[in-house]
């Protein structure tokens, strides 16, 4: 994966379980994968699961806020 957007702590836990099963089939999250999270609790869960966190939505911690911060970041990086 190039980037992962987690919208909840439950999403992190679900993805982590699925990711563990998929590793045996060669599916993985590489060192260059960027992780974006809706809020602090989601980011904490992502860190516990072993995923680096590159952006946490500030303010309300919702999808609108995350997109407002994520789109300029990705546009600036040329992606």
Cβ atoms of residues 12 and 6 within 8 Å: yes
Distance (Å, whole) CA 50 – CA 67: 23
What mean pLDDT value characterizes the chain? 82
Strands 34-37 and 55-56: parallel
Whether residue 78 has pLDDT greater than 60? no
Distance (Å, whole) CA 35 – CA 69: 13
pTM score, two decimals?
Answer: 0.77
DSSP 38: S
Whether residue 36 has pLDDT greater than 80? yes
Determine the average pLDDT of the residues in 9-34.
Answer: 79
Length of the chain, in residues: 79
């Amino acid at each position: 994966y190039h980037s992962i957007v987690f919208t909840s702590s439950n999403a992190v836990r679900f993805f982590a379980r699925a990711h563990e099963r998929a590793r045996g089939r060669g599916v993985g999250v590489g060192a260059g994968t960027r992780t974006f999270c809706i809020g602090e609790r989601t980011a904490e869960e992502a860190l516990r699961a072993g995923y680096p966190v590159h952006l946490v939505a500030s303010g309300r911690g919702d999808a609108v806020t995350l997109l407002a911060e994520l789109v300029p970041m990705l546009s600036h990086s040329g992606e």
